[in-house]
Structure 1
Amino acid sequence: MVVANNKVVSVTYELRKNSADGEVIEIVKDDNPLVYIAGMGSLLPDFEANLMGKKLNESFTFSIPADDAYGPREESAIIDLPLQVFMVDGEVDYELVRTGQTIPMRDQDGNRLNGIVLDVNETTVKMDFNHPLAGDDLYFTGKIVGIRDATQEELEHGHVHGHGGHSHDEED
């Protein structure tokens, strides 16, 4: 069996920033592999494309250029927000609103996004809403550790069920 659309794929990998010698960003091991349904579009398109056709236990090495991963860093994604945005009951929680802290927020359309606090002063909080890996090439090495057919239910729901996937309460 090979990685193809509608297959449940389990992979282990090491992700490095920019090259084989770059900073290690993430390590996904055998005890908790990444499990996904190929072709559902839940992962970076180039990540999925590089795994298509691979066999069980086959190793892989590939890179994804920044423009095809999380895009370039955008200066327009760095904004100053009024300090009042972070007030609760007239107080600012400076344990939360401090340089280097990641804060989950929502944009004007209700979409979730994370911002990193770059600076705090008496009137504004400078936030960076770029993806943490924006501007970086991604370098992956890993192995295909599982391939199986997706169940009809998994295909209908668009995600993996069971070990390594999602489970539903009986009410769902």
Structure 2
Amino acid sequence: MKIAQNAVVKMHYSVIDKDNNAIDSSMNEEPLEVIIGSGYLIPGLENALIGKEVGDAFNVTVPPSEGYGERHEGLMQAVPKSMFEGIEVEIGMQFRATTDDGEETVMILDIQGDDVLVDGNHPLSGIELTFDVKILEVREATADELAHGHVHSPGGCGHDHSH
């Protein structure tokens, strides 16, 4: 079958940035298994999968607008070091922060005296990404998988939905 909305796709992938730096890869690990339309994949990759079949292998380059978004300078801000009580802050550390837009991950960019410069942009925002994809399996998602929004391995989904 061809890949369409609500199909489960099992695939191997690798992704590089425009300078050929490896960002991520499943090639030496378990393949990625996702439901098309669940919002797990970035739009540019999901759109490229539509219509493909088992055995297809392809490359797709995804601009930031269809990936992790453009960078927004407004998401960078200085916060007082006192907010990180008891934590030895270092550049590159990531934290979950509660903002006006809900929970988001922020990364420490710089430490200037008593101020810590944090960045709420996704680490891959503003970056053009090239994916190398091989389709291993395509099937319809089950009703349970669609209800939960993720793929279930044989024997259930590994967590309890009863409460």
**What is the TM-score with the length of structure 1 in the denominator?**
0.85
Matches within 5 A, 1:1-172: 1-18=1-18, 22-29=20-27, 31-87=29-85, 92-94=86-88, 97-109=89-101, 111-162=102-153, 166-169=157-160, 171-172=162-163
Distance in structure 1 (CA, Å) of the matches to 2:140 and 2:66:
28
1:46, 1:80 → 2: CA distance? 32
**Runs of 4+ deviating beyond 6 Å:** none
Shift in Å at residue 30 of structure 1? 6.3
Task: Supply the distance in 1 between the matched residues of 2:157 and 2:122 (Cα, whole angstroms).
Answer: 25
Query: Identity, % of aligned pairs?
Result: 35
Tell me the matched-pair count.
162
Deviation sequence 1:117-147 (CA, Å, 0-9, x none): 1222442111111111111101011201111
Output the CA distance in 2 between the equivalents of 1:13 and 1:50.
Answer: 13
Distance in 2 (CA, whole Å) between partners of 1:158 and 1:74 is: 29
Report the CA distance between 1:108 and its aligned residue. 3.3
Alignment RMSD, CA only?
2.0
Q: CA deviation at 1:14?
A: 0.8
Q: State TM-score, norm by structure 2.
A: 0.89
Gaps of at least 5 residues in structure 2 are: none
For the residues of structure 1 that align with 2:4 and 2:118, how far apart are their CA atoms?
A: 40
Residue 26 of structure 1 aligns with an amino acid whose one-letter code is: D
CA distance in 1 between partners of 2:28 and 2:152 (Å) = 18
In structure 1, the gaps of 5 or more residues are none
